[in-house]
């Protein structure tokens, strides 16, 4: 299942936030949407599942305008992992993950045997099954984020949208979360869109990168095509270079400092 974004325009209070944004999210890829704070990344993500409505242009889900879908039907195809994973009530892991089945249920229906199978499978795939009876608000940030991903997987989505999924996590948890998401993409054929401002993490895990600057697309392509020294200097104001980590075989970023301090 693909997402086709065409001539997207969005504004707040008359001020453009996204301008002339067009790109295709390919089926089964991990696409990183990269850019500095305030460039429109989260706004773009909100348009991809109709939480926000574009002021111009459209978003097509398998060729059909997203506005022709009911919200419940969108949730059967597209799941979202929000920026803030905090849970305000004492729900267990199993209860949180069960919420992912709501788009498939009528009011007051409860979980069917098939729902229970899918919930269990989602917890197993995200490595939280042994935590099923723990309360989410007692868990670490990394553990809680896995539970939120499990809830998303319980929706059996074709597309997963993630807004700054490693924000506020310690370094080891950041690797754990993105290793998990990358593995799910490959094993489940899941299409993943990750919004981030974290250059090294996006370079390491994404198949392609869309770089936003001045509220429009500055570059789009494979990691080595987008994360050039020139683009990183222009968009992020840093002197940096892309290379391959000899130990992991993955892309890595070396930061040398602020670009303005070296001019």
Domains of the chain: 3-262 (3.40.50.300)
Q: Can you give the pLDDT at residue 83?
A: 84
CA angle at residue 187 from 74 to 183, to 5 degrees? 95
CA dihedral 214, 216, 220, 224 (to 10 degrees): 0
- Residue ranges, the chain, pLDDT below 70: 261-263
Q: Can you give the pLDDT at residue 87?
A: 77
Q: Can you give the pLDDT at residue 60?
A: 97
Q: Can you give the pLDDT at residue 37?
A: 87
Which residue(s) pair with 116 in the sheet? none
Nearest one of 98, 193, 107, 111 to 150, comparing CA atoms: 98
Cα–Cα distances (Å) from 46 to 68, 73, 200, 227, in that order, read 16, 16, 24, 25
pTM for the model stands at 0.94
Alpha-carbon distance of 13 to 15, in angstroms, equals 6
Rounded to 5 degrees, φ, ψ at 9 are -135, 135
Q: Can you give the pLDDT at residue 261?
A: 61
Q: Can you give the pLDDT at residue 38?
A: 87
């Amino acid at each position: 299942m693909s997402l086709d974004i065409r001539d997207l325009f969005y504004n707040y209070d008359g001020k453009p936030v996204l301008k002339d944004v067009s790109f295709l999210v390919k089926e089964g890829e991990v696409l990183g949407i990269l850019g500095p704070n305030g460039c429109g990344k989260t706004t773009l993500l909100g348009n991809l599942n109709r939480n926000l409505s574009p002021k111009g242009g459209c978003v097509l889900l398998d060729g059909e305008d997203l506005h022709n879908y009911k919200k419940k039907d969108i949730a059967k195809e597209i799941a979202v992992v929000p920026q803030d994973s905090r849970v305000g009530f004492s729900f267990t892991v199993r209860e949180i993950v069960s919420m992912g089945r709501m788009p498939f249920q009528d009011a007051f229906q409860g979980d069917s045997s098939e729902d229970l199978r899918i919930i269990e499978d989602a917890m197993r795939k995200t490595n939280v099954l042994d935590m099923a009876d723990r309360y989410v608000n007692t868990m670490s940030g990394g553990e809680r984020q896995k539970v939120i991903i499990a809830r998303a997987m319980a929706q059996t989505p074709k597309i997963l949208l993630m807004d700054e999924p490693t924000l506020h996590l310690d370094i080891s948890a950041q690797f754990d979360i993105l290793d998990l998401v990358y593995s799910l993409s490959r094993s489940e054929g899941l299409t993943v869109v990750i919004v981030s401002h974290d250059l090294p993490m996006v370079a390491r895990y994404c198949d392609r990168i869309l770089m936003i600057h001045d509220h429009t697309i500055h570059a789009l392509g494979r990691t080595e095509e987008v994360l050039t020294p020139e683009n990183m200097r222009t968009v992020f104001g840093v002197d940096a270079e892309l290379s391959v980590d000899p130990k992991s075989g993955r892309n890595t970023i070396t930061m040398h400092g602020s670009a303005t301090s070296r001019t």
